[in-house]
Chains A and B, each alone.
Chain A
């Protein structure tokens, strides 16, 4: 099959390049079986390399043992727990002080969507405005999964979470998700991109650009991370779910820099109906037709908005 052949070449190319590089997390981390976050963070940190200081605010990343427990650690680079609220600020202090001493390091955050878009947003926004030299990677699993799958502002409309439960009255979240990556575009960060682990080559290319951008400005990478436990789908379907999100335009893959503007890196011109994506997981099982219609309409609206930004960029 043509898709398989393509994947074959790509995967081998990445493997040939970085397969030998050390995985900078402990061999054993206690992420759920089939955890997409564990997948993306292992790839990301290996790519960024050992000259890194890593910040992992409360969430699944430290929850699976990245910062360790009672004297044991899960990471082979310096790693710390910021507060849920101050990741970007604390990292900015680390980076500036090391730069002051003439040390070149990558200051990297692996933050969840809740800590980035809700309670940590002020700190994130402030650091982006100041142009702190940080690589801020948001793992977007669309909710507070580590604390028991509660709603965040990145949770999509209609989704079941433990704080937007489904019952006689409740039909999941009643608001649309906050579009955090577009907010970061509006901060005119040195680099902003969205990524998905179903499109690894795209993810790697963006990581490379983000690493470079973080040397002189604020680099923001928003990676969608389907959560087998919180979204209610079998672990082995993880990449499939991630892929369908992109193929339905529920998730769009693009990148932005102030000079080049915004461009799609994988434009889906003939998307799947969003229902095909929603059906792949249990958190949307209760949706009625109106809700599905609402989500389909939002997907198209979002697509139109990003398209408009992309068109303007290419015209400029």
Chain B
């Protein structure tokens, strides 16, 4: 458990491993990152994350301003102000909270503020649901935040630390979401290793978040003047900023890889930065997964391998910016693909990751039979048994079965 882990005097006697839920792992990482300001508002399944943060501050183990704002809209607004005044900032939300936060959320990437936010993913309303699913994160995937999905509690902790480094990198300067599956990762507890504070300090380096735009009386400037319009300098000025934002997103692909490398060197834990290839070397077909579902999928792949099926798994970690090149590289050798989404792309009648993958397949230049599976909606479990069926149905494509027009609903008959 947490047990004064962050007090340098106590760290010496801390256990080698602790067991904590994903929300607590994120909170511990935030404390290690020494933010200046954390603003919070409770919402299921994120609430325990902000409770852990509040407790860390109340116990004197974290030196940060905690602003209990009156709603998510103000939560992110407070952080925008703090970041413009030079603060390292963090918050967390999900589902309806994200929807309410949308106005400042939509604006953050354009301000180029390196705000870090845990997105404890939750399915969308309606039907009324308080449970996990990726619908909230997928709905905002085009807004311009960097979004990385975690598979394990340890990865939540490590990715949260890396998120600050990635967001604040001068070539990126974009807000980052750490996406962790509501329920299964947020409340699921597992063994994690906590890095030492001194190592984290060295890894993250000096805070310098508002070198480009500051609200400081001694450096007067106007932040976000009216820009654009159809005449004069407007159009060119606006395009310049938009291109800058696109460049930041593309740079993020490189910086995410560099940061994962540096993290592995410093802390000895290596996670695939963009796309993980699991048992892909001689795979004939593969599953494509995202986030907390991946562990069960890997177990299923291992069992299918034992049964002689040449199946592999590709996991997308960085969903925004979409890692087109890395995904194409992973897809190069296979002949059929099953894409498992935990949310719905209503416009395309498939999963959002499936839809994005179709774009990558065009880039690959090789047609590939692929099926869209949708499961785990509103807290439903995607079990090893479910993945066995996904493997069977994907394998059928290999043998000439025509891909279904529309998604295959994993939990339809549970």
Q: A93-B78, A94-B81 in contact; A86/B217 too (CB < 8 A)?
A: no
Flag the segment in A6-14, A67-75, A162-170, A263-271 that touches B. A67-75
Query: B69: CB under 8 A from chain A?
Result: yes
Q: Contact mask B210-252 → A, CB, 8 Å, 1/0?
A: 0000111101111111111100111001000000000000000
Q: Is the CB of A100 within 8 A of B224?
A: no
Q: Is the CB of A130 within 8 A of B67?
A: yes
Q: Is the CB of B86 within 8 A of A83?
A: no
Q: Contact mask A134-146 → B, CB, 8 Å, 1/0?
A: 0000000000000
Q: A135 to B80: give the CA distance in the assembly, Å.
A: 19
Min distance, Cβ A96 to any Cβ of chain B, angstroms: 5
Min distance, Cβ A300 to any Cβ of chain B, angstroms: 35
Within 8 A of A (CB), among B46-102: 65, 67-71, 73-75, 77-87, 89
Q: A101 to B214: give the CA distance in the assembly, Å.
A: 14
Within 8 A of B (CB), among A92-111: 92-98, 100-101, 103, 105
Q: A89-B74, A98-B216 in contact; A62/B221 too (CB < 8 A)?
A: no
Q: Is the CB of A94 within 8 A of B85?
A: yes
Q: A78-B217, A80-B223, A93-B79 in contact; A129/B70 too (CB < 8 A)?
A: yes
Q: Is the CB of B73 within 8 A of A53?
A: no
Q: Is the CB of B103 within 8 A of A80?
A: no
Flag the segment in A118-126, A218-226, A290-298 that touches B. A118-126
Min distance, Cβ A199 to any Cβ of chain B, angstroms: 29
Min distance, Cβ A62 to any Cβ of chain B, angstroms: 7
Q: A147 to B109: give the CA distance in the assembly, Å.
A: 26
Q: Is the CB of B222 within 8 A of A51?
A: no
Identify whether the interface residues of A are mostly helix, strand, loop, or mixed: mixed
Min distance, Cβ A95 to any Cβ of chain B, angstroms: 8
Identify whether the interface residues of B are mostly helix, strand, loop, or mixed: mixed
Contacts of A79 in B (CB 8 A): 220, 222-223
Q: Is the CB of A96 within 8 A of B68?
A: no
Interface residues of A, count at CB 8 A = 47
Q: A126 to B82: give the CA distance in the assembly, Å.
A: 17
Query: A76: CB under 8 A from chain B?
Result: yes
Q: Contact mask B96-128 → A, CB, 8 Å, 1/0?
A: 000000011001000000000000000000000
Q: A209 to B225: give the CA distance in the assembly, Å.
A: 31
Q: Contact mask B174-216 → A, CB, 8 Å, 1/0?
A: 0000000000000000000000000000000000000000111
Query: B136: CB under 8 A from chain A?
Result: no
Query: B159: CB under 8 A from chain A?
Result: no
Contacts of A153 in B (CB 8 A): none
Q: A53-B215, A72-B225, A98-B85 in contact; A122/B237 too (CB < 8 A)?
A: no
Query: B301: CB under 8 A from chain A?
Result: no
Q: Is the CB of A101 within 8 A of B222?
A: no
Q: A83-B103, A101-B86 in contact; A62/B226 too (CB < 8 A)?
A: yes
Cβ 8 A contact of B74, one of A74, A77, A126: A126
Residue from A76, A78, A83, A98 with most neighbouring chain B CB atoms (10 Å): A78
Query: B158: CB under 8 A from chain A?
Result: no
Q: A103 to B87: give the CA distance in the assembly, Å.
A: 13
Query: A90: CB under 8 A from chain B?
Result: yes
Q: List B residues at the A interface (Cβ < 8 Å).
A: 36-37, 39, 65, 67-71, 73-75, 77-87, 89, 103-104, 107, 214-217, 219-229, 232-234, 237
Q: List A residues at the B interface (Cβ < 8 Å).
A: 50-53, 62, 66-83, 85-86, 88-98, 100-101, 103, 105, 122-123, 125-127, 129-130
Q: Which 5 A-B pairs have the closest CB atoms?
A: A93-B81, A126-B70, A73-B222, A86-B77, A89-B74
